[in-house]
Amino acid sequence: MNEPLLLVSELGAGYGEMPVLQDVSLRILPGEIVALVGSNGAGKTTLLRSLSRVIPCTGRIRFAGREIVDMSPDHVFDLGLVQVPEGRQLFDRMTVNDNLLMGAFRRTDRAGIAGSLERVYALFPAMLERRQQRAGSLSGGEQQMCALARALMASPKLLMVDEMSLGLAPSIVDLLLDMLVEIRNEGVTILLVEQDVHSAFSIADRAYVLETGRVVREGPAAQLAEDSEVKRAYLGL
Protein backbone atom coordinates (compact mmCIF):
# COMPACT_ATOMS: atom_id res chain seq x y z
CA MET A 1 0.00 0.00 0.00
CA ASN A 2 1.17 3.54 -0.73
CA GLU A 3 2.20 5.66 2.22
CA PRO A 4 -0.54 8.19 2.96
CA LEU A 5 0.08 11.71 1.72
CA LEU A 6 -1.87 12.92 4.76
CA LEU A 7 -2.26 10.97 7.99
CA VAL A 8 -4.25 12.49 10.85
CA SER A 9 -4.38 10.74 14.23
CA GLU A 10 -6.54 11.59 17.27
CA LEU A 11 -6.89 15.23 16.26
CA GLY A 12 -8.57 17.60 18.69
CA ALA A 13 -9.24 21.30 18.16
CA GLY A 14 -11.56 24.10 19.17
CA TYR A 15 -11.86 27.77 20.00
CA GLY A 16 -10.99 28.86 23.52
CA GLU A 17 -12.79 26.59 25.96
CA MET A 18 -15.12 25.26 23.26
CA PRO A 19 -14.01 21.89 21.82
CA VAL A 20 -15.07 21.27 18.22
CA LEU A 21 -13.07 18.25 17.02
CA GLN A 22 -12.52 15.14 19.13
CA ASP A 23 -10.22 12.22 18.25
CA VAL A 24 -10.49 12.71 14.48
CA SER A 25 -8.39 10.28 12.45
CA LEU A 26 -8.20 10.04 8.68
CA ARG A 27 -5.83 9.24 5.84
CA ILE A 28 -5.52 10.36 2.25
CA LEU A 29 -3.46 8.42 -0.27
CA PRO A 30 -1.64 10.08 -3.19
CA GLY A 31 -3.93 10.50 -6.21
CA GLU A 32 -7.20 10.15 -4.30
CA ILE A 33 -10.24 12.36 -4.15
CA VAL A 34 -11.48 12.06 -0.58
CA ALA A 35 -14.76 13.65 0.52
CA LEU A 36 -15.36 14.98 4.02
CA VAL A 37 -19.09 15.51 4.48
CA GLY A 38 -21.30 16.64 7.31
CA SER A 39 -23.97 19.14 8.24
CA ASN A 40 -23.30 22.78 9.05
CA GLY A 41 -21.48 22.99 12.40
CA ALA A 42 -20.08 19.45 12.25
CA GLY A 43 -16.51 20.76 12.39
CA LYS A 44 -15.47 20.49 8.74
CA THR A 45 -13.97 23.95 8.41
CA THR A 46 -12.32 23.64 11.82
CA LEU A 47 -10.62 20.49 10.57
CA LEU A 48 -9.31 22.32 7.50
CA ARG A 49 -8.04 25.18 9.64
CA SER A 50 -6.26 22.65 11.84
CA LEU A 51 -4.65 20.95 8.85
CA SER A 52 -3.56 24.33 7.47
CA ARG A 53 -2.14 25.12 10.94
CA VAL A 54 -4.23 28.27 11.28
CA ILE A 55 -5.55 27.16 14.68
CA PRO A 56 -3.82 25.09 17.37
CA CYS A 57 -4.70 21.45 17.80
CA THR A 58 -3.70 18.28 19.60
CA GLY A 59 -2.89 14.91 18.10
CA ARG A 60 -0.71 14.18 15.09
CA ILE A 61 -0.72 15.41 11.49
CA ARG A 62 1.74 13.86 9.07
CA PHE A 63 1.89 15.36 5.58
CA ALA A 64 4.23 14.35 2.75
CA GLY A 65 6.40 12.43 5.20
CA ARG A 66 6.70 15.32 7.70
CA GLU A 67 5.12 15.89 11.08
CA ILE A 68 3.45 19.29 10.71
CA VAL A 69 1.41 19.80 13.88
CA ASP A 70 3.98 22.29 15.21
CA MET A 71 4.62 24.03 11.88
CA SER A 72 3.43 27.48 10.84
CA PRO A 73 0.79 27.99 8.12
CA ASP A 74 3.33 29.34 5.64
CA HIS A 75 5.58 26.32 6.18
CA VAL A 76 2.86 23.76 5.47
CA PHE A 77 1.75 25.86 2.48
CA ASP A 78 5.29 25.63 1.13
CA LEU A 79 5.16 21.84 1.58
CA GLY A 80 2.18 21.76 -0.79
CA LEU A 81 -0.87 21.71 1.49
CA VAL A 82 -3.12 24.37 -0.07
CA GLN A 83 -6.70 25.35 0.72
CA VAL A 84 -9.47 26.82 -1.44
CA PRO A 85 -11.48 28.64 1.24
CA GLU A 86 -15.23 28.75 1.59
CA GLY A 87 -16.57 31.88 -0.07
CA ARG A 88 -13.64 32.00 -2.56
CA GLN A 89 -12.05 35.08 -0.90
CA LEU A 90 -10.70 36.56 -4.12
CA PHE A 91 -9.10 39.98 -4.39
CA ASP A 92 -12.17 41.55 -5.94
CA ARG A 93 -10.54 44.70 -7.32
CA MET A 94 -7.63 42.87 -8.90
CA THR A 95 -7.76 41.24 -12.31
CA VAL A 96 -8.14 37.52 -12.76
CA ASN A 97 -4.52 37.29 -13.90
CA ASP A 98 -3.24 39.14 -10.83
CA ASN A 99 -5.36 36.91 -8.56
CA LEU A 100 -3.75 33.85 -10.13
CA LEU A 101 -0.27 35.27 -9.69
CA MET A 102 -1.06 35.86 -6.01
CA GLY A 103 -1.41 32.09 -5.69
CA ALA A 104 2.28 31.81 -6.56
CA PHE A 105 3.41 34.59 -4.21
CA ARG A 106 5.74 32.31 -2.23
CA ARG A 107 7.33 30.76 -5.32
CA THR A 108 10.61 32.06 -6.75
CA ASP A 109 10.89 29.88 -9.86
CA ARG A 110 9.84 32.34 -12.57
CA ALA A 111 9.91 29.79 -15.37
CA GLY A 112 7.87 27.39 -13.26
CA ILE A 113 5.32 30.08 -12.45
CA ALA A 114 4.94 30.90 -16.14
CA GLY A 115 4.43 27.20 -16.89
CA SER A 116 1.84 26.89 -14.13
CA LEU A 117 -0.03 29.92 -15.47
CA GLU A 118 -0.12 28.37 -18.92
CA ARG A 119 -1.42 25.06 -17.56
CA VAL A 120 -4.05 26.77 -15.41
CA TYR A 121 -5.36 28.77 -18.36
CA ALA A 122 -5.52 25.58 -20.42
CA LEU A 123 -7.55 23.93 -17.67
CA PHE A 124 -9.79 26.98 -17.15
CA PRO A 125 -10.27 28.59 -20.60
CA ALA A 126 -12.95 30.89 -19.19
CA MET A 127 -10.28 32.44 -16.99
CA LEU A 128 -8.06 33.04 -20.01
CA GLU A 129 -10.90 34.90 -21.71
CA ARG A 130 -11.41 37.04 -18.60
CA ARG A 131 -7.80 37.39 -17.51
CA GLN A 132 -7.92 41.22 -17.52
CA GLN A 133 -11.37 41.39 -15.93
CA ARG A 134 -11.78 42.33 -12.26
CA ALA A 135 -12.39 39.21 -10.20
CA GLY A 136 -15.26 40.87 -8.34
CA SER A 137 -17.22 41.23 -11.60
CA LEU A 138 -17.20 37.50 -12.35
CA SER A 139 -20.23 35.26 -11.84
CA GLY A 140 -20.30 32.97 -8.82
CA GLY A 141 -19.21 29.96 -10.84
CA GLU A 142 -16.41 31.91 -12.51
CA GLN A 143 -15.22 33.16 -9.14
CA GLN A 144 -15.01 29.57 -7.91
CA MET A 145 -13.00 28.66 -11.00
CA CYS A 146 -10.68 31.57 -10.27
CA ALA A 147 -10.25 30.44 -6.66
CA LEU A 148 -9.39 26.90 -7.81
CA ALA A 149 -7.00 28.23 -10.44
CA ARG A 150 -5.30 30.52 -7.91
CA ALA A 151 -4.74 27.59 -5.54
CA LEU A 152 -3.23 25.52 -8.35
CA MET A 153 -0.68 28.28 -8.95
CA ALA A 154 0.82 27.33 -5.58
CA SER A 155 1.73 23.92 -7.05
CA PRO A 156 -0.13 21.92 -4.37
CA LYS A 157 0.40 18.28 -3.49
CA LEU A 158 -2.93 18.25 -1.62
CA LEU A 159 -5.73 20.63 -2.58
CA MET A 160 -8.34 21.14 0.15
CA VAL A 161 -11.59 22.54 -1.28
CA ASP A 162 -14.07 23.97 1.23
CA GLU A 163 -17.79 24.07 0.26
CA MET A 164 -17.21 24.52 -3.47
CA SER A 165 -20.89 24.13 -4.40
CA LEU A 166 -22.22 26.76 -1.99
CA GLY A 167 -24.72 29.06 -3.72
CA LEU A 168 -24.09 27.71 -7.22
CA ALA A 169 -26.52 26.26 -9.76
CA PRO A 170 -26.39 22.45 -10.18
CA SER A 171 -25.10 22.74 -13.76
CA ILE A 172 -22.17 24.88 -12.59
CA VAL A 173 -21.45 22.48 -9.73
CA ASP A 174 -21.31 19.58 -12.20
CA LEU A 175 -18.82 21.52 -14.35
CA LEU A 176 -16.63 22.26 -11.33
CA LEU A 177 -16.74 18.62 -10.22
CA ASP A 178 -15.51 17.59 -13.68
CA MET A 179 -12.68 20.09 -13.27
CA LEU A 180 -11.70 18.56 -9.93
CA VAL A 181 -11.48 15.15 -11.58
CA GLU A 182 -9.23 16.65 -14.26
CA ILE A 183 -7.06 18.29 -11.60
CA ARG A 184 -6.71 14.91 -9.87
CA ASN A 185 -5.83 13.31 -13.20
CA GLU A 186 -2.99 15.81 -13.50
CA GLY A 187 -1.51 14.53 -10.24
CA VAL A 188 -3.04 16.66 -7.48
CA THR A 189 -4.62 14.85 -4.53
CA ILE A 190 -7.92 16.39 -3.37
CA LEU A 191 -9.80 16.68 -0.09
CA LEU A 192 -13.31 17.89 -0.92
CA VAL A 193 -15.27 19.28 2.04
CA GLU A 194 -18.99 19.53 1.30
CA GLN A 195 -22.48 19.74 2.74
CA ASP A 196 -23.74 18.55 -0.65
CA VAL A 197 -23.16 14.86 -0.06
CA HIS A 198 -24.50 13.72 -3.43
CA SER A 199 -22.06 15.96 -5.32
CA ALA A 200 -19.11 14.97 -3.16
CA PHE A 201 -19.79 11.24 -3.41
CA SER A 202 -20.21 11.45 -7.20
CA ILE A 203 -16.46 11.96 -7.74
CA ALA A 204 -14.83 10.77 -4.49
CA ASP A 205 -12.89 7.54 -4.12
CA ARG A 206 -13.41 7.44 -0.36
CA ALA A 207 -15.32 9.52 2.16
CA TYR A 208 -15.57 10.42 5.83
CA VAL A 209 -18.75 11.55 7.57
CA LEU A 210 -18.24 14.07 10.38
CA GLU A 211 -20.88 14.66 13.06
CA THR A 212 -20.43 16.94 16.08
CA GLY A 213 -16.66 16.85 15.73
CA ARG A 214 -16.26 13.09 15.33
CA VAL A 215 -15.87 10.76 12.36
CA VAL A 216 -18.92 8.49 12.45
CA ARG A 217 -18.61 6.78 9.06
CA GLU A 218 -15.76 6.13 6.64
CA GLY A 219 -15.18 3.98 3.58
CA PRO A 220 -15.48 3.91 -0.21
CA ALA A 221 -17.77 6.72 -1.36
CA ALA A 222 -19.94 4.36 -3.41
CA GLN A 223 -20.43 2.16 -0.35
CA LEU A 224 -21.30 5.06 1.95
CA ALA A 225 -23.80 6.34 -0.63
CA GLU A 226 -25.75 3.11 -0.04
CA ASP A 227 -25.46 3.27 3.77
CA SER A 228 -28.98 3.54 5.21
CA GLU A 229 -28.00 6.06 7.90
CA VAL A 230 -26.14 8.25 5.42
CA LYS A 231 -29.09 8.10 3.04
CA ARG A 232 -31.50 9.09 5.78
CA ALA A 233 -29.39 11.90 7.25
CA TYR A 234 -27.82 13.43 4.18
CA LEU A 235 -29.49 12.24 0.98
CA GLY A 236 -33.11 12.53 2.05
CA LEU A 237 -33.82 8.88 1.21
Q: How far is residue 2 from each of residues 32, 126, 184, measured CA to CA in Å? A: 11, 36, 17
- pTM, full prediction: 0.93
CA 136 – CA 151 distance, rounded (Å): 17
CA 10 to chain centre: 21
CA 26 – CA 228 distance, rounded (Å): 22
CA 100 – CA 122 distance, rounded (Å): 13
Task: Write down the pLDDT at residue 89.
Answer: 85
Would the CA dihedral through 86, 142, 154, 107 be positive or negative? Answer: negative
Task: Write down the pLDDT at residue 133.
Answer: 96
CA 161 – CA 34 distance, rounded (Å): 11
Domain annotation for the chain: domains and CATH numbers: 6-80+156-235 (3.40.50.300), 91-154 (no CATH)
Output the tens digit of pLDDT for each of the chain's 237 residues.
Answer: 579 999 999 999 999 888 999 999 999 999 999 999 988 889 999 999 999 999 999 999 999 999 999 999 999 999 999 999 887 789 989 999 999 999 999 988 889 899 999 999 999 999 999 999 999 999 999 999 999 999 999 999 999 999 888 888 999 999 999 999 999 999 999 999 988 899 999 999 999 999 999 999 999 999 999 998 888 877 664
- The secondary structure of the chain in percent helix, strand, coil, rounded to multiples of 5, reads 40, 25, 35
- The secondary structure element, H or E, covering residue 125 is helix 125-129
Do residues 162 and 131 make contact, with C-beta atoms less than 8 angstroms apart? no
